């Protein structure tokens, strides 16, 4: 059982010699490894002030024993910088990261491989403070060092591509952000081969990015490529195939075409390889398909009812069981906001939050829609109302029967330009 936070704080303070007599009290020197454990334990418990004090004591001891420029300081300083970030002290974090970089450069030169991690974390700290230009320069330096040390196509760049994506999005350079995500797949294909099982997760990640970027056709295509890999390379992995098929089928809710993914999902049911939870979720998904695409409510309710009965045999906390406790949005497409409609490069955009309250009847339709926005925009709010009213919902089920649900809440993020 984890130690309670009060115990963590007390024990870490005791190790540091903080008590009734304060810092000046004479204490037996604590082993450095014990201080490291105390720092990490306090941080994990959320006691960041104690973690910070312990981190500073560790650094003081290493400096005393090995000097202020010792390589042995880099890890303790990195940990301190991370604590500064967690406390929201961006300036202190930046100064600490820069000190780490100076120490490593003095030892390894300006292209030392150990520079990559502090450069990357410094960039993340800069992005926390919305300093995206500086972050982008920092990440490009990290990528250059990665390539010089490990080759142009090393897979260690993958995490850098995710950070570069965030930086470009912060600068509203969406085309370059997308390019970063696509390069991840290119790297994986080059390293492993197009049909290798290790490529499939990267295709799924790109599909998720496309979907978030409203590129639903491209998202479906990536999921289909992932599905082809799973089908060929891991035919017994029904869970992976079902995951890809489920994403495709849900995209089919809002895309035109006569795709047969629902038939493939039905075959997975017939083969009997799915777990109980997967079986229930798959039945529900087929019900969703018949409701939205085929407009056969009777068949949809038969699937939902069977899914509900199977889900009741699962543990109460299982997500497949909990999915029937509230309405589920099936084909909601959020309206374009001002940033989606016009994307001038490097004009800063911020995120707002929209909250919608509405009811969902037993037929799966919303009514009485009310919208509140953190940054009011009357036209956008009205478009949200219209989209919610047009959306199909899988209604809440009670004893396998669809019922109405009052006071449903939806929160959604949207972007707007900062003047």
- pLDDT of 36 above 80: yes
Of 367, 392, 393, 370, the C-alpha closest to 381 is 370
Please report, for the chain, the start and end positions of each structural domain, with discontinuous segments joined by +.
Answer: 338-417
Q: What percentage of residues in the chain have a pLDDT greater than 70? A: 90
Give the gyration radius of the chain's Cα atoms. Answer: 27
Across 69-90, average pLDDT: 96
- pLDDT at 322 (0 to 100): 73
pLDDT category of residue 18 using cuts at 50, 70 and 90 = very low
Tokens of 140: 């490009």
Residue 120: pLDDT above 70? yes
Residue 42 structure tokens: 């306090």
346 vs 46: which has the higher pLDDT: 46
pLDDT per position as a tens digit, 284-296 = 999 999 999 889 9
Looking at domain 338-417, does it have CATH number 3.40.50.300?
Answer: no
Which stretch of 155-159, 266-270, 318-322, 404-408 has the lowest confidence by average pLDDT?
318-322
The shares of helix, strand and coil residues in the chain, as percent rounded to the nearest 5, are: 65, 10, 25
Do 370 and 388 form a contact (C-beta atoms < 8 A)?
no
**pLDDT > 60? residue 22:** no
pLDDT, tens only, 351-397: 888 999 999 999 999 999 999 888 878 888 999 999 999 999 999 99
Report the alpha-carbon distance of residue 314 to residue 292 in Å, rounded: 27
Q: Tell me, what's the pLDDT at 346?
A: 59
Distance CA 358, CA 137 (A): 45
Residue 254: what pLDDT?
A: 79
Q: Among 144-153, 255-264, 384-393, where is mean pLDDT lowest?
A: 255-264
Q: What is the pLDDT of residue 191?
A: 97
Model confidence at 11: pLDDT above 60: no
Mean of pLDDT values over 81-89: 97
Highest mean pLDDT among 16-20, 22-26, 55-59: 55-59
For residue 332, give both structure tokens: 């909601």
Q: Are 368 and 358 in contact (CB under 8 A)?
A: yes
């Amino acid at each position: 059982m984890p130690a309670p936070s009060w115990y963590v704080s007390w024990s870490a303070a005791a190790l540091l010699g903080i008590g009734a007599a304060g810092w000046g009290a004479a204490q037996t020197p604590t082993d450095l490894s014990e201080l490291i454990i105390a720092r990490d334990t306090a941080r994990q418990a959320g006691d960041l002030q104690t973690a910070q004090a312990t981190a500073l004591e560790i650094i003081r001891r290493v400096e005393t024993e090995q000097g202020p420029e010792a390589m042995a300081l880099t890890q303790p300083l990195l940990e301190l910088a991370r604590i500064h970030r967690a406390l929201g002290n961006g300036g202190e974090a930046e100064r600490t990261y820069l000190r780490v970089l100076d120490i490593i450069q003095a030892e390894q030169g300006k292209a030392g491989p150990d520079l990559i991690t502090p450069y990357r974390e410094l960039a993340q700290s800069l992005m926390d403070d919305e300093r995206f230009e500086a972050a982008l320069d920092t990440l490009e330096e990290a990528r250059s060092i990665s390539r010089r040390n490990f080759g142009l196509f090393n897979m260690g760049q993958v995490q850098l591509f995710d950070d570069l994506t965030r930086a470009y999005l912060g600068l509203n350079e969406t085309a370059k952000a997308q390019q970063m995500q696509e390069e991840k797949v290119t790297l994986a294909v080059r390293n492993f081969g197009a049909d290798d099982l290790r490529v499939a997760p990267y295709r799924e990640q790109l599909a998720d990015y496309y979907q978030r970027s409203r590129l639903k056709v491209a998202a479906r295509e990536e999921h289909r490529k992932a599905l082809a890999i799973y089908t060929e390379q891991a035919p017994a992995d029904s869970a992976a195939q079902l995951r890809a098929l489920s994403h495709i089928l849900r995209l089919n809710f809002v895309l035109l075409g006569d795709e047969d993914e629902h038939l493939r999902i039905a075959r997975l049911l017939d083969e009997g390889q799915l777990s109980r939870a997967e079986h229930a979720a798959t039945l529900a998904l087929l019900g969703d398909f018949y409701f939205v695409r085929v407009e056969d409510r009777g068949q949809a309710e038969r699937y939902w009812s069977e899914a509900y009965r199977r889900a009741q045999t699962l543990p109460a906390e299982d997500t497949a069981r909990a999915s029937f406790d509230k309405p589920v949005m099936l084909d909601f497409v959020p309206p374009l906001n001002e940033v989606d409609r016009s994307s001038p490069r490097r004009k800063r955009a911020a995120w707002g939050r929209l909250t919608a309250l509405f009811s969902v009847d037993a037929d799966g339709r919303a009514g009485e829609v009310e919208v509140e926005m953190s940054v009011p925009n009357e036209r956008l709010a009205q478009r949200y109302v219209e989209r919610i009213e047009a959306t199909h919902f899988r209604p809440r089920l009670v004893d396998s029967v669809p019922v109405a649900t009052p006071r449903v809440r939806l929160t959604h993020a949207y972007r707007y330009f900062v003047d």
